Structure 1
Amino acid sequence: MIKSMTAYACNEAEISDLTINCEIRSVNHRYSDVSLKLPEALRFMETDLRALLSAHIKRGKLECSISYKKPAKQGQGFIVNHDALAVLLAATEQIEIRMMTPQPFSALDVLAFPGILQEPSTDKTKLNEGVTQLVKQTVGDLLIVRAREGAQLKLLVESRCQKVHEFAATASQRIPAVMLQIRNKLKDKVVELVAQPDFDRLEQELLFLIQKLDVSEELDRLTTHAKEVLRVLNEEEPAGKRLDFLMQELNREANTLGSKSVDTQISQIAIELKVLIEQMREQIQNIE
């Protein structure tokens, strides 16, 4: 299934006395790159959550941000870490002894110091299960968005592949007339310049020249690569890298077609093919 690498999903859940928010966004990237932002209270879950995200995202840069807030409850007070407070005050007294003019500080200054206020204890097992379920739900929503956008990308690439087939068929139909035109033009030129031309030798040289200018192989390979693109688009596995390689091969054949062409119409077809291939390449950059 074709999936886009660009998507966004966000969910929120009430777990214990916390409101947990999970936000995931992904963008295109050559490889799989998972970035996880967690508050300190949830840091113990980092390894499991990273493994969960990596299992669902095969390619792309993914950023997962989890935050929480506590609802305000009437009558809820502060929990002071008295051990940390004692250590802080003792350290403050030692510092003030060595200061020329100690500065006074308030209780609010002390409360703002890290570690003085304690968070209420939370059941880590329940918190782990709740956050994991929230992340799974958000990843599921993200994958739905990626699949929906991937379906649109697939349609765009398929329509351009069909145009590649049409242009290649038009050029193939044009080849016999172009080869005959080259043969007649060169033969007339030789007859005009040489009184008694060696027509056997001339035919050999014309055959050699026509083989050099023949673009049938390039058109066959263009058609074959376009068919392979359509086949890969219907595979279940991630196809972005494979499709990117096929775009390089299509572009190579289109360049060769343009350089070998001696016909205005086929040269124009080569230009149109390069435009189509570049449009497909830009879309494929966003496919997983």
Structure 2
Amino acid sequence: MTGYASAQHGASATGAETDARSPQARRLGLEIRSVNSRFLDLSFRLPDELRALEPVLRTLLTSQLKRGKVEVRAALENDDGSGLQDPAPRLLQRINSLQDSVKAWLPDAAPLTVADALRLCANASHGPEDWSAAVPALAERALADLLAARAREGERLVAMLQDRLGQLRGLAQQAGPLVPQLVEQQRLRFMERWKEAMALTDGATLPEAARDRALTEATAFAIRIDVAEELTRLNSHLDEIERLLRKGGEVGKRLDFLIQELHREANTLGSKSAALELTRISVDMKVLIEQMREQVQNIE
């Protein structure tokens, strides 16, 4: 299912003043995006400093998510309040000394720009930072928000599926009485044809054997177009889908299977159709089932 959540860690996220040299002087932002997918597909876009924490994040996400194409992004930004700080003179002297040493061995090396010097000062000021505790905690917060968003979407999907289930039940109820009517019409049609055929021969009344043959043909036709078994199975599948929707939890794959079975019964209903009305019902069923299939693939 689709969803989006983000969380921040740092001075601006907590509102506390921090020293520019502390880890909290940098803001950590993390966001999780989820789109529909039949399987769980995780991707990470992390800065180099956080790459080592990818297995921890992966374990956390797989413990809570079962479906969806999920992307995790993280970024580290300076959060010192004023944007840029004056670099320490001793640090600048050290950088300049290092540059002179490099140029002594590599005379053609390009000199450092102001941007290069500021970046080196910023990296030296922060030093190595330990985000091993902050990143998982931040990911848990974002994941909780994502799950809440997906739960809200799930409620909307369940309402839609319940509506389609009701429409399918209505179509099944319409199809039920049609079969006996078709059988009776066909029986009368067989009898009339046999009477016409016998009248052309000798004009006598229809013999008992001919009558039995007509009834046998009508019975065979009734067996061919009987869809009572298909309607029974279809209603059984609808009952099971409703039960799973009420139960909740990880029901996506079971719903996938039941939707396939619904489609099978609707196809059989259409193939046995002997009337335009029954064909229309079969087509309408398949349209509703296809709508359900598209949404069921989003449910965990």
Match of 1:68 among 66, 76, 83: 76
Query: Within the alignment, does 1:121 sit opposite 2:121 as a pair?
Result: no
Name the residue aligned to 1:49.
Answer: 57
Query: TM-score when scaled to structure 1?
Result: 0.84
1:89 & 1:245 partners in 2: Cα distance? 71
Say whether the 8 Å CA contact 1:81–1:117 is kept in structure 2: no
SS of corresponding position for 2:50: helix
SS of corresponding position for 2:274: coil
SS of corresponding position for 2:126: coil
1:115 & 1:77 partners in 2: Cα distance? 6
Name the residue aligned to 2:138.
Answer: 134
SS of corresponding position for 1:61: strand
2:116 & 2:258 partners in 1: Cα distance? 64
Say whether the 8 Å CA contact 2:27–2:77 is kept in structure 1: yes
SS of corresponding position for 1:189: helix
Question: How do 1:166-181 residues align onto structure 2 when only pairs under 5 Å count?
Answer: 166-181=170-185
Say whether the 8 Å CA contact 1:80–1:116 is kept in structure 2: no
Match of 1:150 among 142, 151, 154: 154
Shift of 1:211: 0.3
Say whether the 8 Å CA contact 1:34–1:63 is kept in structure 2: yes
Shift of 1:216: 1.1
1:106 & 1:18 partners in 2: Cα distance? 24
Shift of 1:110: 5.8
- Structure 2: runs of 5+ lacking an equivalent: 12-23
1:285 & 1:94 partners in 2: Cα distance? 63
Name the residue aligned to 2:248.
Answer: 236
Name the residue aligned to 1:36.
Answer: 44
Aligned residues: 276
The letter of the residue matching 1:64 is V
Closer, same or farther: CA 264–107 of 1 in aligned 2, 3 Å = closer
Structure with the greater relative contact order (CA < 8 A, sep ≥ 6): 1 or 2? 1
1:56 & 1:63 partners in 2: Cα distance? 14
Shift of 1:91: 6.3
- Seq. identity, %: 35
Match of 1:58 among 66, 69, 81: 66
Computing the radius of gyration over CA atoms, which structure comes out larger, 1 or 2?
A: 2
The letter of the residue matching 1:161 is L
Question: How do 1:1-288 residues align onto structure 2 when only pairs under 5 Å count?
Answer: 5-14=1-10, 16-72=24-80, 75-77=85-87, 86=98, 96=107, 102=108, 105-108=111-114, 111=117, 117-118=123-124, 120-121=126-127, 124=130, 127-194=131-198, 195=201, 196=206, 198-288=210-300
Closer, same or farther: CA 27–213 of 1 in aligned 2, 3 Å = same
1:255 & 1:155 partners in 2: Cα distance? 25
1:252 & 1:267 partners in 2: Cα distance? 15
SS of corresponding position for 1:66: strand
Say whether the 8 Å CA contact 1:81–1:118 is kept in structure 2: no
Deviations along 1:121-160, one digit per CA (max 9) or x if unpaired, are 3552xx3322222111110010001000100100110111
Name the residue aligned to 1:99.
Answer: none
Shift of 1:168: 0.6
Query: TM-score when scaled to structure 2?
Result: 0.81
The letter of the residue matching 1:179 is V
Deviations along 1:55-102, one digit per CA (max 9) or x if unpaired, are 11111111111112112366542657969x85x876665555xxxxx4
The letter of the residue matching 2:214 is L
- Structure 1: runs of 5+ lacking an equivalent: 97-101
Say whether the 8 Å CA contact 1:28–1:286 is kept in structure 2: yes
Question: Superposition RMSD on alpha carbons, in Å?
Answer: 2.9
Closer, same or farther: CA 279–109 of 1 in aligned 2, 3 Å = closer
Deviations along 1:176-196, one digit per CA (max 9) or x if unpaired, are 111111111122112212345
The letter of the residue matching 1:17 is A
1:240 & 1:204 partners in 2: Cα distance? 47
1:260 & 1:80 partners in 2: Cα distance? 87
Shift of 1:34: 1.3
1:81 & 1:35 partners in 2: Cα distance? 42
